[in-house]
A and B are shown apart, each in its own frame.
Chain A
Amino acid sequence: MQKQIPFMQSLLLGLVGLGSFIGLWHGLAVSGLILDVFLPSPVEVYDRFTTLLDRRFAGATLPGHLFASFQRFAYGFVLAALIGIPLGLLMGWYQLLDEIVSPLFDALRFVAPIAWVPFAALWFGTGIGGPIMIIFAGAFPPCVINAYRGAKFVDPRLIEAANMLGTPSHRVIREVLLPSSVPSIISGLRVSAGLGWQSLVGAELIVASAGVGYMMVQGQANVSTTTVMAGMVAIGLVGLALDSALRLAERIIQRRRGLEN
């Protein structure tokens, strides 16, 4: 590994990197080597993005589509957390449950969340129920796995100490096991938010009549590359905001525990 380079220099290099990436994109778009229909310039994408903020496309404005997407995401994500975290914790605490559920869970894990789309559409329709189920399918496994890890890898000395002092088992769960698995649960939530958001986009591309994914499919059908790209930007921004919020929560909890490294 090379030596650290000074901060200013690395900032400068970063700007050069970003600048040449955007410059190359802009140059290719403006030069006419690639048809404008296929590769609009960054300026056009930005223009389209701002236009979509208050003009309807595919039934709603961009904020309207984002709201529809986010609402579905929130339902699916909360549902996954509400079911997944208790299941994972119980699997970590009770070996028999772990041995019963694990084989089923492992078998289902290999089904890509998106492969649930046909059944989701069949069972819950394409409005709000179907997409929620896909988000659930994407967000559920990380919730379970991380809660399980959190519960399973509690420092045994803590449990032994609690037992030695004669703590009743419900208090051991509430005051020892649960608090010590929180950091792992939060990391799991972050992973599952990412996967859930990604599954939502996939679901909206295939079955939905509103949402950013739907807007992008309509953009694609109308050969409006700027709309597609504006949708990608919006999806990226919301995903980034979600991840940052959960990252912040993770850091706050770790700091309160003195676990920060």
Chain B
Amino acid sequence: MPRRVSIGFVTILVVCVIWYAVTTGFGIIPSGRFPSPAETWSAFTHVSGRGYGGGDLTLHVYNSLRLVVLGFLFAIVTGVPLGLLMGWSRTAEALINPIFLIIRPIPPLAWIPLAILWLGLGDAAKMMVIWFSAFVPSVINTYAGVRNIDRPVIEAAYMLGIPKVRFVSEVLVPGASPMIFTGLRLSLQASWTTLVAAELVGAFYGIGRVLNVAQQDLYPGMILVGMIAVAILGWGTTRLLGVAESYALRWNTAALAARG
């Protein structure tokens, strides 16, 4: 859609011009409220060169990214199998579902104070809340995915006397995979939100730490740099997951066509 792309490009350009005009040009918005492009750039060189809030930009990005990736992977490894089990076994569903029903309404962010009480301000507490926030969507969507598999497929596999291991790897997982990936995308988004919140509450390194220190220093340029960094990281990891998804689902032409 070239028309869409060109209009989008023009919009972004116009917004940048307006940004420059209201900050530097006419000074309508004072720099104590919102930074000008030049101030943002200088904040960027500040944090990537000399460092800010305990380290340089690479260190903060590395710490945040590492926590999200680890927490997210850990949630996949624990959540997807549990979702498969709950989707597959009615007994497991009846046993575990009520526990989920009472834990689910508590937003992941509400676990942050408890995580800090239990594990302190270090990486472990953040891993715990990220794991928790990413775990629930992975379980629920995997579970729904298994429930959505066509019954005839399952019955055909049974009729042909499929061994248990092959049933899981060739029927259950592939059948549920479109929904599993929907869950993973939600999990990834939740991981970033939780990480930023947890780092804002208390951390030694990370993008949230940069935001927190910048807020206390009343340093709008640095706040904007932190927000842009969060957005880029969130966008990049979502894109990576999208690539993994289209690779994993390349056999499933229907699901790919539906995605467009």
Contacts and interface: CB of A to CB of B under 8 A. Distances in A.
A174 B149 CA distance: 40
Contacts of A38: 117-118
Nearest to B228: A111
Main secondary structure of the interface of A (DSSP, over half): helix
A101 B7 CA distance: 10
A194 B102 CA distance: 15
A122 B87 contact: no
A179 interface: no
Q: How large is the interface on B (under 10, 10 to 19, 20 to 34, 35 or more residues)?
A: 35 or more
Contacts of B231: 107-108, 110-111, 115
A5 B200 contact: no
Contacts of B223: 118-119, 122
B113 A216 contact: yes
Interface residues of A, number: 64
- The residue in A100, A110, A199, A243 that gathers the most chain B C-beta atoms within 10 A of its C-beta is A110
A14 interface: yes
Contacts of B42: none
Main secondary structure of the interface of B (DSSP, over half): helix
A2 B193 CA distance: 37
B228 to A, nearest CB: 8
B67 interface: no
Nearest to B151: A1
Given A18-B102, A38-B117, A205-B112, A115 B214 contact: no
A21 interface: yes
Contacts of B227: 111, 115-116, 119
B240 interface: no
Nearest to B114: A228
A202 B109 contact: yes
Contacts of B34: 119
B8 interface: yes
Given A17-B96, A115-B226, A3 B235 contact: no
B33 A201 contact: no
Contacts of A96: 7
B106 interface: yes
A198 B107 contact: yes
A-B pairs, 7 with minimum CB distance: A103-B8, A118-B215, A198-B107, A13-B94, A17-B95, A220-B113, A10-B94
Given A9-B94, A115-B226, A216-B113, 15 more contacts: A2-B90, A18-B102, A38-B117, A102-B8, A104-B12, A110-B232, A112-B197, A112-B234, A115-B196, A115-B231, A198-B108, A201-B110, A216-B110, A228-B113, A232-B114
Interface of B: 3-4, 7-9, 11-12, 15, 33-34, 87-91, 93-99, 102, 105-114, 116-118, 146-147, 149, 151, 154, 192-193, 196-197, 200-201, 208, 211-212, 214-215, 218, 220, 223, 226-227, 230-232, 234-235, 238
Interface of A: 1-5, 9-11, 13-18, 21, 38, 96, 99-104, 107-108, 110-119, 121-123, 194, 197-199, 201-202, 205-206, 213, 216-217, 219-220, 223, 225, 228-229, 231-233, 235-237, 239-240, 243
